[in-house]
Amino acid sequence: MSLGAMIRIGLGRDLHRLVCGRAFLLGGVVLPADKGEDGHSDGDVLIHAVIDALLGAAGIGDIGQLFPPSDPAWKDACSKELLRRSFEQVKKAGYALVNLDCVVSCEAPKLLPYRHTIRASLASLLDVDIEMVFVKGKTNEGCDSVGAGEAVEALAVCLLERV
Ligand code: MG
């Protein structure tokens, strides 16, 4: 088999509005914050980006296709469950995770104190070692909706290998 078929990269990106009265969830972890992600599901922007990276790398769809927002079944859906289901599909397609790297952009809170917990949560959901998952927090330097504290954005890139 050619190298190209053995190793596949995936990219995911998501953005959610931040509103009062919602939990601020990142990677299945509730962070202390004044506002949280709005959304049809629980709004976990990081998990949504990770799901799209994994599904894209495997070439088997995207989050909107697997869990359409128009379907009431996914109203207030637990993103942790969506990730578990998505990764099951990825594994069923014959792939294992090599590594996952993520960037979350928001003005507050600072993510460094929570990084280990978020990495551990994602690694646990994917049933991989924590060394295979990394997460970095950035601010948007006050620019645009993320910089104004009105939104949070997540990017995820993953590498899969055929097993
Ligand atoms: Mg989303």
Q: If DSSP codes are grouped into helix, strand and coil, which group holds residue 70?
A: coil
Distance 6 CA to ligand 1 centre (A): 29
Q: In whole numbers, what is the pLDDT of the chain averaged over residues?
A: 95
Q: If DSSP codes are grouped into helix, strand and coil, which group holds residue 66?
A: helix
DSSP state of 63: H
Bridge partners of residue 103, in order along the sequence: 136, 155
Pairing of strands 35-37, 7-20: antiparallel
pLDDT, position 70: 87
pLDDT, position 4: 55
| Segments making up each domain of the chain, as ranges | 3-162
Distance 44 CA to ligand 1 centre (A): 7
Token pair, residue 141, equals 């330097």
* CA distance linking residue 163 with residue 102, whole number of Å: 23
Low pLDDT (below 70) residues in the chain: 1-4
pLDDT, position 18: 98
Query: Domain 3-162 has what CATH class?
Result: alpha beta
pLDDT digits (tens, 9 = 90+) for 3-30: 557 999 999 999 999 999 999 999 999 9
Distance 3 CA to ligand 1 centre (A): 32
